[in-house]
Amino acid sequence: MAKHPAGWRVALLHNKRWLLPLLVALSVSTALAFILRAAFDSSCDRRHFEVPKTRFHPATGTGAGAAAPSPLGFMKSKHVLLVSHELSLSGGPLLLMELAFLLRGVGAEVCWITNQKPSERDEVVHSLEHKMLGRGVQVLSAKGQEAVDRALKADLVVLNTAVAGKWLDAVLKENVPRVLPKVLWWIHEMRGHYFKMEYLKHLPMVAGAMIDSHVTAEYWKNRTQERLKIKMPQTYVVHLGNSKELMDVAEDNVAKRVLREHVRESLGVTNEDIVFALINSMPLPVENAFIHLYPLAVDLRISVSRGKGQDLFLRAFYESLQLIQEQKLQVPSLHAVIVGSDITAQTKFESELRDFVAQKKIQNRVHFVNKTLTVAPYLAAIDVLVQNSQARGECFGRITIEAMAFQLPVLGTSAGGTTEIVVNESTGLLHPIGKEGVTPLAKNIVKLATHVERRLTMGKRGYERVKSMFLERHMAHRIDAVLKEVLRKAKNQHS
């Protein structure tokens, strides 16, 4: 649990001028935890952060008091080339940056290549590159002889996402066969349009593929065979994990209480009301300076989209209100929150959502929250997370384990990686995808609204599951096993 001076806690509770810095400072997640560590440990930003160095342990990422060395210590002095299809505040690139800093923390020599970069200067790209350089990650041009030389010299090459496969032929050309035996391909996609030979023709020849969930791995195995007539290489499943920073916030009851009170007050929701939220944004840690430097960075976040199922969630929420009324159930007032809206540029889909809310006259119960980089306050403020991703679901869905860290039960679709995170009837309740899932979701909303003890028990079980399976150190151990196997294969191939 995060430790704070007693006076700091009292000031937070009685002086609201602390609330904005708290909202910013405590909104953290695994995705950029290591990036901020880079800022803390170097002078690589336009603004200097005075953060106690003892808070972090560069090798383990588990706090200064941790004695156990990083399982990735064997990567010391290894040469690693990381190739990302883009550099942005989206899931794939942030995960690769997380890996970059894990490897740098144990003394590996790490180089980064972004295959697709904006033709004009992009402030977010510039900032992220600057943070990598400050941490000792070399940033190279995607093209040119230096990129080829680094690939040939590297002990390990990690391609991030399916689209990164285009880099092989475009840059390495005749050197592709020499590099493939030491390539680990990290795949995060679940959508069918990524299955193109121009991306994946070299996939069968690489040392291995790393995928975020078993469901996604099986999907890739079947789809590549059926659609492209190619065979997947040795495939490893690596579930993601929550950072120590996120867990510190989730386990700090005082901070959570302050955040809960502030957010609920801003929404016009009382402490007794029950709040169900669909958070359609991958959270990342934010410091004041980052917000000041890049106030428009939120425009890069994912907004509401049909694939995330906000429309079906609202239909289910309305149906749950009808069920409560028909059955004359005595429950606190129910509210629905959708995080990921865009009040400045509403899409047709979002307009449909708002029209539905107006038609059903539930404006006082449904709250649209604009796209935000600070989702931890909402995790502290709500009672239940709804993960309603459609089609094949989420490849993994990191927001799910983050919500479970906050002891929130999860109502999720029985698809994709969610089925490997949420234990049905134990840490949450699952429902079918599509229109068929609307009524089951509505009934599940009513179940949790009418049984507070069940809701709290599920939340506690979810927290225990996170502590046993989905922490940063668990993820590091899983990656450790994969890298050892891939390096062994590469060495045998070379000899």
Q: What is the pTM of this model?
A: 0.81
The residue among 383, 375, 379, 401 whose CA lies nearest residue 456 is 383
Contact 481, 463 (CB under 8 A): no
Instruction: Kindly give, in sequence order, each residue whose CB lies less than 8 Å from that of residue 95, ignoring residues fewer than 6 positions away.
Output: 31, 160, 186, 188, 240
Phi, psi for residue 295 in degrees, rounded to 5: -65, -20
Name the packing angle between helices 310-326 and 348-359 (round to 10°). 10
Q: What is the pLDDT of residue 158?
A: 98
Q: Both tokens of residue 221?
A: 């195995």
Half-sphere exposure of 189 (CA within 13 A, CB side): 19
Q: What is the pLDDT of residue 208?
A: 97
Cα dist from 155 to 62, 167, 306, 332, 350, whole Å: 27, 18, 42, 59, 47
Instruction: Kindly give, in sequence order, each residue whose CB lies less than 8 Å from that of residue 303, ignoring residues fewer than 6 positions away.
Output: 280, 340, 341, 342, 347, 350, 371
Instruction: Kindly give, in sequence order, each residue whose CB lies less than 8 Å from that of residue 214, ignoring residues fewer than 6 positions away.
Output: 237, 420
Q: What is the pLDDT of residue 68?
A: 67
Q: Which domains does the chain have, with CATH numbers?
A: 73-117+124-241+476-493 (3.40.50.11010), 244-288+298-469 (3.40.50.2000)
Q: What is the pLDDT of residue 344?
A: 67
Residue 121 CB-density burial (10 A; 0-12 exposed, 13-18 middle, 19+ buried): exposed
Q: What pLDDT tens digit does each residue of the chain (495 aa) get? A: 444 433 434 344 444 444 544 454 444 333 334 333 333 333 233 222 222 232 223 333 344 344 467 899 999 999 999 999 999 877 789 889 989 999 999 999 999 999 998 888 888 899 999 999 999 999 999 999 999 999 999 999 999 999 999 999 999 999 999 999 999 999 998 877 788 999 999 999 999 999 999 999 999 999 999 999 999 999 999 999 998 888 999 999 999 999 999 999 999 999 999 999 999 744 343 333 333 333 333 333 345 678 899 999 999 999 999 999 999 999 999 999 999 877 666 788 899 999 999 999 999 999 999 876 677 899 999 999 999 999 989 999 889 999 999 999 999 999 999 999 999 999 999 999 999 999 999 999 999 999 999 999 999 999 999 999 999 899 999 999 999 999 998 888 766
Q: What is the pLDDT of residue 43?
A: 29
Name the packing angle between helices 6-14 and 253-267 (round to 10°). 10
* Count of all residues that appear for the chain in the document: 495
